[in-house]
C-alpha cells in the first residue's frame, strides 16, 4: 500500500497530523510483512485465509489494537524456531482481535498470572534479558487516582500545550495502568512502551507527582512511540545492542538505542514543562515543581547528549531527529 | 534456536517490518539478540529503577 510522505515529518515540534501518517505507515508495513509471511508459509501454515484477508484489509484502513504488532512479532519468532503450529495459532488469534473505534482508552492491567492478554503486555515490556521485574494489576483505589491524574494532565495540556495534547491523542490507543514491586531492593518501573506494542504505553499507576508529573510521563512515553514511528523503515542508531553506556534516566548501563531514546524524550519533557510555564496557567505550587523539573530535564539532556555525541553511530535519520532536539534545547537554554 | 537450514518456512528478515533493522551478523546470534534490538523502553526518572 502506498503511503504519502509528509513535510516536516521528523520535526521536534509536536504534530497530530504527521502521526496519522506514521500510524498508517506502521499498519501498512505490518500488513506487508504479514502478507509476505503468508506467501512464504503457503501450504505449511494453517490459517483461516478469509478471516486473515479481512483482518489485513481492516489493518490498512483503520487503527488497530497495539497487540496486533506483538502477535506479528511472536509469529516471526515461532517460525524462526520452526514451530509452524504455534505460528499458525498466533496468526489465527491475530484475526480475533477486536476492531478499534479510535480514540484513547485507559485500561487496567489484569493479573498476568491468570490473563493471557495481561501476560502478553507484561512480557513485551519486560523482554530485556539483562533485567527482570514484576508487574501487577493496580488496586482500584490507585487506578482511580491515576485516572484523575491523567484527566488533570490532559486538561493542562489542552490549555497550555494543545499541539502536544493532539499528538499524544493521535499516537496512543491505550494507556495501560499497572503496578510495580514495592520492595525497595527490587526492580520497578515508572512507565514503559515497546515497538511491538505500537500505540500502547504502560504506566505505573502508583504515583505521587501530580498532574505536572503525569504531563511529563505522557510526554515521555508518547515520545518513545513517536521514535518508534519514525524508525519504521530505518534505524536511528547503528551501534550494536551489546555496546553499553551510562544512561541519563536509568541506573543500569544501556545500549545506545536506549540512550538515544532517553535523551530525546528528556528534551520532549523539557519542552512540555516550558510550554506550560510560558502559558501562564500553572498555580504557584505547580509552577514551583515545573521550574525544578525544567532544570532537572536540562541536566539529564546534557548527560544524554554528551554520551550520544561521544559514542553514537547515528543513521542519517537518527542524526536529523536528534538535531531537532538539540536545536530546541540550545534555543531554550 | 533450531537448525536454521531446515526450517519449514523460510523468511528473509530484510523483508520483515521491525526485524529488518537487525543486522545480519546480529541475527545469527538468535532470537534473544533480535528481541533486544526491538526492546521495550522502560524507565522514567532516575532513581525509580533501583537495584
A191 vs B44: CB contact, 8 Å cut-off? yes
Q: Which residues fall within 8 angstroms of residue A275, CB to CB, at 6 or more apart?
A: A160, A161, A164
What band does A262 get if pLDDT is binned at 50, 70 and 90? very high
| Distance to chain A for B44, nearest Cα, Å | 5
Whole-number average pLDDT of chain A: 93
Cβ-Cβ contacts under 8 Å, B14 against chain A: none
**What count of other Cβ atoms lies within 10 Å of the Cβ of residue A278?**
11
Which 223-242 residues of chain A touch chain B by CB within 8 A? 224, 231-232, 234-235, 240-242
Query: Residue B47, exposed/middle/buried by CB under 10 A (0-12, 13-18, 19+)?
Result: exposed
Which A residues, 94 through 113, put their C-beta within 8 Å of a C-beta on chain B? Answer: none
Cβ separation A40–B44 shorter than 8 A: no
- Residue in the structure block whose three cell numbers are 544512561: A247
Q: What is the pLDDT of residues A143-201, one digit of tens each?
A: 999 999 999 999 999 999 999 999 999 999 999 999 988 777 777 788 999 999 999 99
Each as own residue / partner, the long-range contacts of residues B7-12 (CB below 8 Å, 24 or more positions apart, any chain) are B7/A79, B7/A80, B7/A82, B8/A44, B8/A82, B8/A84, B9/A37, B9/A40, B9/A41, B9/A44, B9/A45, B9/A79, B9/A82, B9/A84, B9/A87, B10/A40, B11/A36, B11/A37, B11/A40, B11/A76, B11/A79, B11/A80
* pTM summary value: 0.92
Q: Which residues of chain B have pLDDT under 50?
A: 1-3, 23-37, 44-51
**% of chain A beyond a pLDDT of 90:** 82
User: Is A40–B43 a contact, with Cβ atoms under 8 angstroms apart?
Assistant: no
Confidence bin at A298 (pLDDT 50/70/90): very high
Q: Is B24 on the interface with A (CB under 8 A)?
A: no
Give the burial class of A21: count Cβ atoms within 10 A of its Cβ; 0-12 exposed, 13-18 middle, 19 or more buried. middle
pLDDT recorded at residue A254: 87
All cell numbers assigned to A253: 548501563
Residues 6 or more apart whose Cβ sits within 8 Å of residue A255: A239, A240, A241, A242, A243, A244, A245, B36, B39
The count of C-alpha atoms lying within 13 angstroms of the C-alpha of A277, restricted to the half-sphere facing its C-beta, is 17
Q: Which of A86, A135, A250 to mutate to test the interface with B (most CBs of B within 10 A)?
A: A250
Mutation target for B interface from A26, A40, A76, A202: give the one with most B CBs within 10 A: A76
Distance from CA of B40 to the nearest CA of A (A): 4
Task: Compute the half-sphere exposure of residue A200: CA atoms within 13 Å on the CB side of its CA.
Answer: 26
Q: How far apart are CA A87 and CA A231, in angstroms?
A: 26
**Are B46 and A45 a contacting pair at CB < 8 A?**
no
CA A78 centroid distance within chain: 24
C-alpha cell at A116: 493471557
Domain coordinates in residue numbering, chain B:
4-30
Q: Beta A105-108 vs A174-180: how paired, if at all?
A: parallel
pLDDT tens column, A72-120: 999 999 999 999 999 999 999 999 998 787 789 999 999 999 999 999 9
Inter-chain CB proximity B49 and A250 less than 8 Å:
yes
Whether chain B has a CB inside 8 Å of the CB on A35: the answer is no
**Segment A44-75, tens digit of pLDDT:** 999 999 999 999 999 999 999 999 999 999 99
Alpha-carbon dihedral sign for residues A108, A112, A116, A119: positive
With a CB cutoff of 8 Å and minimum separation 6, the contacts of A70 are A120, A124, A194, A196, A197
In contact, A210 and A236? CB cutoff 8 Å: no
**A73 shares contact with chain B (CB less than 8 Å):** yes
Does B21 sit within 8 Å of A235, measured CB to CB? yes
- Asked whether this complex has an ipTM greater than 0.90, the answer is no
Amino acid at each position: 500500500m502506498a503511503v504519502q510522505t509528509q513535510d516536516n515529518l521528523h520535526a521536534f515540534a509536536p504534530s497530530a497530523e504527521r502521526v496519522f501518517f506514521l500510524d498508517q505507515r506502521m499498519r501498512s508495513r505490518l500488513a506487508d510483512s504479514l502478507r509476505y509471511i503468508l506467501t512464504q508459509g503457503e501450504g505449511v501454515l494453517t490459517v483461516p485465509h478469509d478471516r486473515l484477508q479481512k483482518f489485513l484489509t481492516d489493518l490498512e484502513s483503520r487503527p488497530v489494537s497495539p497487540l496486533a504488532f506483538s502477535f506479528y512479532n511472536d509469529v516471526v519468532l515461532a517460525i524462526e524456531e520452526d514451530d509452524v503450529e504455534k505460528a499458525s495459532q498466533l496468526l489465527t488469534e491475530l484475526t480475533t482481535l477486536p476492531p478499534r473505534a479510535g480514540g484513547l482508552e485507559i485500561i487496567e492491567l489484569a493479573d498476568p498470572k491468570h490473563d493471557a492478554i495481561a501476560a502478553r503486555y507484561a512480557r513485551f515490556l519486560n523482554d530485556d534479558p539483562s533485567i527482570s521485574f514484576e508487574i501487577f494489576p493496580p488496586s482500584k483505589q490507585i487506578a482511580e487516582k491515576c485516572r484523575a491524574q491523567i484527566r488533570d494532565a490532559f486538561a493542562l495540556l489542552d490549555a497550555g500545550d494543545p499541539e502536544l495534547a493532539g499528538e499524544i491523542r493521535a499516537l496512543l490507543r491505550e494507556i495501560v495502568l499497572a503496578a510495580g514491586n514495592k520492595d525497595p531492593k527490587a526492580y520497578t518501573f515508572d512507565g514503559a512502551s515497546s515497538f511491538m506494542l505500537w500505540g500502547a504505553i504502560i504506566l505505573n499507576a502508583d504515583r505521587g507527582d501530580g498532574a505536572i508529573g503525569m504531563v511529563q510521563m505522557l510526554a515521555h512515553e508518547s515520545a518513545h512511540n513517536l521514535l518508534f514511528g519514525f524508525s519504521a523503515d530505518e534505524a536511528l542508531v547503528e551501534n550494536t545492542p551489546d555496546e553499553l553506556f551510562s544512561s541519563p534516566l536509568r541506573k543500569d548501563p544501556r545500549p545506545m538505542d536506549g540512550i538515544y531514546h532517553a535523551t530525546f524524550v528528556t528534551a520532549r519533557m523539557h519542552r512540555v514543562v516550558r510550554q506550560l510555564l510560558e502559558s501562564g496557567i500553572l498555580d504557584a505550587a505547580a509552577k514551583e515543581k515545573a521550574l525544578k523539573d525544567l532544570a532537572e530535564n536540562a541536566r539529564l539532556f546534557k548527560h544524554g547528549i554528551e554520551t550520544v555525541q561521544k559514542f553514537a553511530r547515528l543513521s542519517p535519520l537518527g542524526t536529523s531527529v536528534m538535531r531537532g532536539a538539540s536545536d530546541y534545547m540550545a534555543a531554550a537554554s | 534456536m533450531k537448525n536454521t537450514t531446515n526450517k519449514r518456512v523460510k523468511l528473509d528478515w530484510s523483508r520483515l517490518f521491525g526485524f529488518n533493522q537487525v543486522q545480519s551478523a546480529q541475527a545469527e546470534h538468535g532470537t534473544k539478540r533480535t528481541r533486544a534490538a526491538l526492546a521495550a523502553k522502560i524507565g522514567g526518572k532516575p532513581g525509580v529503577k533501583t537495584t
